[in-house]
Structure 1
Amino acid sequence: MSKPFINVAAGLILRADGSLLLAQRPEGKPWSGWWELPGGKIEAGESVLEALSRELKEELDIDVTDATPWVTYTHEYEVNIVRLAFCQVTGWRGEPTGIEGQQLAWVDPHQALTVGPLLPATEPPLRWLRLPDQYLLTSIGSSAGLAPFLDKLTAALENGIKLVQFREPGWASSDADALIHEAFQQVLQRCHEFGARCLVNSCHPESWWAEADGVHFRAQDAGSSAALRYAESQTTSSPAIPPDETCDATRRLIGVSTHNAEDLPTARNLNADFVVLGHVLETPSHPNEAGMGWQRFADLAQEASLPVFAIGGQSASTVEIARQHGAHGIAGIRMEDKH
């Protein structure tokens, strides 16, 4: 007998200081006493954001004024299957109140939680929420470009960049691998000086992967035996992404580049922490090659079941439109001042 399938809208209600609202399920309901993200069933004819607004009014007596789609995630419980459309809520009128008698708590998602236990489906979004919203890719190119790039990297780190990918497939062929490896080590060290994480792209030797804070797999590499081995090696580590201020080598990150619907299951099979999807808009690196556009990006992001970074033509001017289409953040070789 098949299990009931329920579509749910759930809100990550976020204050300006980054604190997140959790609610305790009241007595008389399944999983009573467990903590969750507020929300509820999507009724027939409702959009996700319409359902979320209605549920938060009914549960918390707040009127949502600013919400964006985020990650859509399916979780199978013993008695049913729940498809949760998580949305980030950053604007509302009123003070959240437990209308059904439920306890509420504001928590810092970057620290150990002061309440619990959490519903199983609530754990992944709290982990994903700790990911930075900008992802910088290196653009060194040759030994001559290293010093200028390190200056640019330092400026970006000073401006708040916390996630970097060392990716140099086009490094001048006259340079030996040893020089590229030395550059990677310098980038890694510079990131750690600022409490940032540095992933290494899978185009570089597997022997480098253990040095980095994670591996970013190209789409063509994500299904390889090496990728599967790496993913398996991370299952024995702590499942939580540590706070942005630390670089905990016991839990390395896994990112995957994706370009179409066929790439997404491979990323999920690796238990990736996030995917990069694109290219969205036309870019200098893809001249005369049209991007997938925002609507196609949104459709694929909804299928990902993971946080998605938009890549291709991204800058500070596209951050908001990326979020409106379900992006966690943006990725690229030029990250502008966040402050």
Structure 2
Amino acid sequence: MEQKPFIRVAVGVIINPEGQVLLAQRPDGKPWSGWWEFPGGKIEEGENVHQALARELKEELDIEITTSYPWVSFTYDYPKTTVELSFCRVYDWKGEVRGLEQQAFAWTTPTQANQLGEILPASVEPLKWLTLPESYAISHFQQADIQEMYWQKFEQLLNQGIKLFQFREPNWSEGVGHGTLKALFEKMLAKCHEHGAKLIINSIHPRAWWALADGVQLRAQDAVQLDERPIDNNKLMGVSCHHLADILYAQHLNADFMVLGHVETTPSHPDTPPLGWETFQQFAYEAGRPVFAIGGQSLTSLSKAQEYGAHGVAFIRG
């Protein structure tokens, strides 16, 4: 059988201050004409991803990129071609967007994009990933007699607009499956939902609790005990990763995202060497879906993490 052509493509996820993304309609005469996609194009010989993207967006939309971050890269098999897509998020640019190839374009939210028409298959998952918040806060109640300290922090984070939390309490004095802890989990879940936020539960806690949460965060050692995704696709599933093997297994389980680290030195792992940003970037490139950086992270480190390909940051102390 004849081998399909392999094409490397740079793709721009152009995001305006209102949080809308730009989609373009493929013009007549091109394959998949009339379908909507993120703008971008083929990476030419001698170009890196950012150079190709800058050239393509200038040629297609007459804009000059001033700020862009690597995001997710993955390979997609079309009937006639295999395409490696390297997505970059673009937050700042010079010039007014206009279709130089006579193509239609539209600003839309990721959840409303399908109202435009048919979405190019390789753009479907990235639109879903864009609904994932960029800040992921992990609980730190620790024990019953000091739980109010973190509750105040939790409410502060909610008021700051954080929309994704993880319930993870490995040090609860009465045990990770105790009724007092379940009551606290249910209280936190209700508070999250009041604020339009989601609460994911760590797999250290009883599996019977998972169905109550908005998703599950699998520890690496729990993930490898599973043969398939343990929850429905309408809930979020993250996998905690420390090595490349963890990332590959998370792909096997069809994780929605990964949490990778620890990236920098952290009080919770004082004797374990950190990954560092270069290794983080290499592993994140292999993930094929959004990756949160963890370890020494906070809301103030978000931009740096995104420079190295992170979707966002996960943190305990913030």
TM-score (norm 1): 0.90
Shift of 1:253: 0.5
Decide which moves more: 142-151 or 201-210.
142-151
Q: Which of 246, 260, 265 matches 1:277?
A: 260
Answer whether contact 1:58 1:99 (CA < 8 A) is retained.
yes
1:254 lines up with 2:255 in the alignment: no
- Return closer, same or farther for 1:99/1:76 CA change in 2, 3 Å cut-off: same
Helix, strand or coil at the partner of 1:211 = coil
Query: Residues 52-105 of structure 1: CA distance to partner in whole angstroms, max 9, x if unpaired?
Result: 000101111111111110001211111111110000011111111111111111
Contact 2:229 2:255 in 1 (8 A): no
Partner of residue 107, structure 2: 106
Write the distance in 2 (CA, Å) between the matches of 1:282 and 1:87. 27
Return closer, same or farther for 1:174/1:319 CA change in 2, 3 Å cut-off.
Answer: closer
Q: Give unpaired runs (5+ residues) of structure 1.
A: 236-250
Name structure 2 gaps, 5 residues minimum: none
- Residue aligning to 1:247: none
Closer/same/farther in 2, CA of residues 138 and 262 from structure 1, 3 Å limit: same
Partners in 1 of 2:304 and 2:113 — Cα distance?
32
Q: Specify whether residues 211 and 175 from structure 1 end up closer, same or farther in structure 2 by C-alpha distance, changes over 3 A only.
A: closer
Counterpart secondary structure, 2:75: strand
Equivalent position SS for 1:262: helix
> Following TM superposition, where does structure 1 have runs of at least 4 consecutive aligned residues deviating by more than 6 angstroms?
none
Q: How do 1:132-147 residues align onto structure 2 when only pairs under 5 Å count? A: 132-147=133-148
Which residue number in structure 2 is paired with residue 315 of structure 1? 298
C-alpha distance in structure 2 between counterparts of 1:176 and 1:212, whole Å: 15
1:165, 1:201 within 8 Å by CA — same for their partners in 2?
yes
Distance 2:185 2:115 in 1: 39
Partner of residue 270, structure 2: 287
Distance 1:38 1:206 in 2: 42
Partner of 1:179: 180
Aligned position for 2:79: 78
Q: Structure 1 residues 112 and 174, CA, compared in 2 at 3 Å: closer, same or farther?
A: closer
Q: 1:229 deviation in Å?
A: 5.3
Aligned equivalent of 2:51: 50
What are the Cα deviations for residues 280-335 of structure 1, in whole angstroms up to 9, with x where unaligned? Answer: 00001111332110000000111100101000001233211100000011001123
Decide which moves more: 265-274 or 74-83. Answer: 265-274
- List aligned pairs for 1:81-100, cutoff 5 A: 81-100=82-101
Residues 223-238 of structure 1: pairs in structure 2 closer than 5 A: 223-225=224-226, 228=228, 230-231=230-231, 234-235=232-233
**Alignment coverage as a number of residue pairs:** 317
Is contact 1:27–1:33 with CA below 8 Å preserved after alignment? yes
Counterpart secondary structure, 2:309: coil
Letter in 1 for 2:243: N
User: How many angstroms does 1:146 deviate by?
Assistant: 2.2
Q: Calculate percent identity across the aligned residue pairs.
A: 50
Aligned counterpart, 2:287: 304
Q: RMSD of aligned C-alpha atoms?
A: 1.5
| Counterpart residue identity of residue 166, structure 1 | F
The aligned residue for residue 12 of structure 2 is 11
Taking the aligned partners of 2:25 and 2:176, their CA distance within structure 1 comes to: 58
> What amino acid sits opposite 1:252 in the alignment?
K
Q: Is the 8 A contact 1:146 1:183 kept in 2?
A: no
Measure how far apart 1:144 and its partner are.
Answer: 1.2
Counterpart secondary structure, 1:27? coil
The question of whether the paired residues in 2 share the 8 Å contact of 1:143 and 1:175 is answered with no
Give CA-to-partner distance per residue, 1:234-286, whole Å, 9 cap, x none.
Answer: 24xxxxxxxxxxxxxxx211011011111112111222111000000000111
Instruction: Tell me the residue number matched to 1:243.
Output: none
Local SS of the residue matching 1:95: coil
Look up the match of 1:153.
154
Distance 2:243 2:176 in 1: 34
